[in-house]
Structure 1
Amino acid sequence: MAKKKKSRKVGLIGVRKDPDFEHKTSSGRVKKRKGNSPGSRHNVEDKRQQKSTSGGNQDPRLGSKKPVPLIKTPVATQKRKFATPAEELAALEADSRLISLLDKLDQGKPLNKDQQHYVDEHMARHKALCELMGITADADESDDDEDEFAALDAIKLDDFER
């Protein structure tokens, strides 16, 4: 047989017949607790916050609720307001960025996506302002000249038969 280790603990030998019987401690007093509860060094802030905020169970690790954009969007430029369409048209025609981009297009150089969007947007606005003010483009006048020359080409050689 295996050797049994001796212990100093004095307990019951066997099982009591009465299940309602409560065993009294030898000294009759409650054990005094020593030290802090387990994990107390991690929960110190939580206890302070629970006392100060009675309303909710807030986690200090949670950050801002502001949504983070996942796609880069261009920064919205502040649009200037003009008193008259003539002032806006003059400002569009004096825009140095637009002029340089149009020069690039005339030279046949490619534009990136943002530059092309800028040109398209401003040229559409320029066209709308010209129509609003009743200004016609120079290209329309040259179409009239082409029509006159087209009439000369329409002469039939059958008219000049002998």
Structure 2
Amino acid sequence: MARAKKSRKGGPIGVAKAPKDWQSKPQRPSKPTRVKKHKGKAPGSRHNVDTKPQAAGNQKTVTDKRIGSKKPVPLVVKATSEPIQKIEKRKYATPAQELAALEANERFNYLLDQLEDGAILKDDDRKWIDAQLERHQVLCDLLGIKESDDEDQDNDPFAQLDAIRIDDFKD
């Protein structure tokens, strides 16, 4: 007798369920489905040209929306002689207003504090602070303002004590 090969498929293990009778249950009225919003154009709209009947009075040529501009596009960028827009400097009515604005500048004050603390500044910060200090000096000269440090040293009473010699008062 021939040998029967084992199969991997097993037969039904349990008892099969009875088939459901869908029509025996009462049907519920289905809820109205939400209307979906349409996004974008209909499929194939790129290839389908709109053919609308035109009125007899308006005899315009039909233009295909797929055809773009006929303006030639330059393939090589030409170097323009016009400089890039420069940032306009603020114009002040008086030197006093410019000096007040300069002294109120946060970056100017921050960098001056860094210099006084002995910090090393970046090159661009150093150039900017030098330019601002030169402008500050010019404005002070225009307004007749002197540095307060020199006045304090001249009027310092303790500096005069060092200059006194006792030998001058002896007979």
- After TM superposition, the score normalised by the length of structure 1 is 0.50
- After TM superposition, the score normalised by the length of structure 2 is 0.47
